[in-house]
Structures are given as C-alpha cells and as structure tokens.
C-alpha cells in the first residue's frame, strides 16, 4: 500500500480535497491525530539537528575539513555517496 501525507496550510481546502480524493476508487482518507505541541516539538528537533550539524561542519568536525558554508557541507555529503 502506498501512502501520501499532505500538509495543507489553508484548512478551508481540506473538505474539497477530501471529496475529490474520496471519490477515487481505492483511496481511503485517515485523519492523523497529532497535537500541535507534538508537531512543534518535531520541528524544533529537526531544526536544532540541522543547526548543530552545520555548526560542527563550520568548526571542521565534519570529515576533518573546515567547511565554510552549508553548500560546502551538502557537497561533502554528496561526495560520500
């Protein structure tokens, strides 16, 4: 089974989308019961992790190199693959 998660800022679109998607054969709609606090905590965790990694990269802790920008970090990560 394939699943899709949609993050929709404009809540007024949700009823129309439910009607459209619900009319497609084989599509079911499930509501996620996640609190605002849980969502905000997850956003903060992800943001903090990115910031920490970037700071470590700036300090030269990433692959023993002194990376001067986030782009340099991305290039370094791509080079590892």
Query: Does residue 18 contact residue 29 with C-beta atoms inside 8 Å?
Result: yes
Domain boundaries, the chain: 11-80
pLDDT for 3: 81
User: Contact at 8 Å (CB) between 70 and 54?
Assistant: yes
- Region of 60 (left: φ > 0; alpha: ψ -120 to 50; beta: rest) is left
Q: What is the pTM of this model?
A: 0.39
Question: pLDDT (tens digit, 9 = 90+) per residue, 18-44?
Answer: 899 889 888 888 877 778 888 888 888
């Amino acid at each position: 089974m394939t699943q899709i998660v949609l993050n929709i800022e404009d809540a007024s679109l949700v009823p129309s989308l439910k009607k459209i998607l619900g009319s497609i054969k084989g599509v079911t709609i499930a509501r996620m019961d996640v609190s605002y606090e849980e969502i905000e905590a997850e956003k903060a965790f992800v943001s903090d992790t990115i910031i920490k990694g970037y700071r470590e990269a700036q300090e030269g802790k990433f692959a023993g190199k002194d990376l001067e920008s986030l782009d340099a970090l991305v290039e370094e990560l791509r080079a590892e693959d």
